[in-house]
Chain A
Amino acid sequence: MTQTGSRPTRAAIVDRIVDHAADTRSLFLSLPDNAKLRFVPGQFISIAIKLPDETRTRPYTIASPSAEMPFEICFNRVPGGRGAEWLFERKLGDMIEFTGPYGTFTMDSTPEAETIFLVEETAIAPVRPMIHRAMGAVHAAMMLLHAASSQQHLIYRAEFESFAARDRNFRFEPMVLQPSDIYPRLLAEAERRWVTGDSDRSRQFYLCGVGKGVIALRDLLRGAGYERRSVHYEQW
């Protein structure tokens, strides 16, 4: 725990820039003296967005596996999103100030119950380190349903396909859909597979995305009898 208002600000340097699509980018950030950033898979850092008229605080999820440095944040442009625009303007060698990591949408240990990840677009970012962590140990069955608006937006696809090819206990289903179809399809899939599909309610779910669709998924699963604490979610 930390005293309110006294969190140390850290500096990171933009070490590498990777564009996944025209509107989706990863920044790889290094810390001074080759330091590592310790975090729990699923957490985010809080970046000081230094605009001409003010400084805003905006969260960006750590997308890289925990041991990896420089660490990666992944984000996309959003209408009116000054934070993402500011990040898109950063260049190699620029300094970024942040605090954290923060957040409780996390996976603290390798899953012992069947685990389903339902995510859209860049909301894959918090889930990626969770899956990496689980793949490093004996784990319960895991399934990732990643819905996106184009093949380009199915970021990390090759990596997840590689995991699925070598580990029969991990299934990966990418889906390309019209943006307006993403949540209706995720809801339909969840209902068909894990609500009406069987009576097993021992699974856990990790849901992540933007807007009310995440809440609709949460309500569907909790309403179907899954334990409240087995339905983890993060809505942006």
Chain B
Amino acid sequence: MAKLRVIFENGDPERIIEFDPAKAPFHHDGRPGSILDILLGHKIHLEHACGGNCACTTCHIIVKQGGKTLSEATEQEEDMLDKAPGLTPSSRLGCQAVVEDPDAEITVVIPRYTINLANESAEE
């Protein structure tokens, strides 16, 4: 079994999920077996405004441990990450980072902020 520890920068209680990567997909958004897929399948919210299609950065996560057990980032993911605020060397998009090791032990941080180019407020 793989283990995923999730730390929320906004102060929500941390969660630990044990799962079998071979049973992916767990949900229907993001790449099957991705961090987004695993979280949603275990009823943990992670934003994914584009539906998990690598077209925004709202599922930005920071991998603190176990990064080598995840799929390599594609050029498309790297292009998108370039636009994420608070980018770190271990940043990934939750919808794209797939757990590949059945015994992986991964820790991720969900950042407090995500980018949104336009002000979300409707103008009067």
- Which of B16-24, B46-54, B64-72, B96-104 is found at the contact surface with chain A? B46-54
> Quick one: CB contact mask for B88-124 with A, threshold 8 Å, 1 for yes?
0000000000000000000000111111111111111
Chain A positions 195-216 with a Cβ under 8 Å from a chain B Cβ: 215
CB A48 to nearest CB in B, in angstroms, measures 11
B50 near A59 (CB under 8 angstroms)?
yes
Total A-B contacts with CB atoms under 8 angstroms apart: 110
Most-contacted residue by chain A among B47, B48, B85, B113 (CB, 10 A) = B47
Instruction: Please measure, in the bound complex, the distance between the C-alpha atom of A233 and the C-alpha atom of B55, giving whole angstroms.
Output: 9
In the complex the two chains form, is B113's CB within 8 Å of A104's CB? Answer: no
* A4-B114 contact in complex given A35-B122, A57-B49, A235-B54, C-beta closer than 8 Å: yes
Question: How long is the Cα–Cα vector from A234 to B65 in the complex, in angstroms?
Answer: 30
Q: How far is the CA of A30 from the CA of B54 in the complex (A)?
A: 28
Contact B51 A56 (CB under 8 A): yes
The smallest C-beta distance from B84 to any residue of chain A, in angstroms, reads: 9
Determine chain B's interface SS by DSSP, over half rule.
loop
Q: Are A100's CB and B122's CB within 8 A?
A: no
When each residue 27-52 of chain A gets 1 if its CB lies under 8 Å from chain B and 0 otherwise, what string results?
00001010111111001101000000
Contact indicator B122/A102 (Cβ below 8 Å): no
A79 on the B face (CB < 8 A): no
B83 at the interface (CB under 8 A from A): yes
Given contacts A36-B123, A56-B28, is CB(A5)–CB(B47) below 8 Å? yes
Is the interface on chain B under 10, 10 to 19, 20 to 34, or 35 or more residues? 35 or more
CB pair A106 B117 closer than 8 Å: yes
Give the docked Cα–Cα distance between A199 and B97 (Å): 37
Contact A59 B121 (CB under 8 A): no
How many angstroms from the CA of A102 to the CA of B60 in the assembled complex? 14
- Asked whether A1 lies within 8 Å of B114 as measured between CB atoms, the reply is yes
Closest to A229 in B: B82
14 A-B pairs in the complex with CB atoms less than 8 angstroms apart:
A2-B113, A4-B112, A7-B47, A7-B120, A38-B119, A56-B29, A57-B48, A59-B56, A99-B120, A101-B118, A102-B117, A104-B56, A105-B55, A235-B54
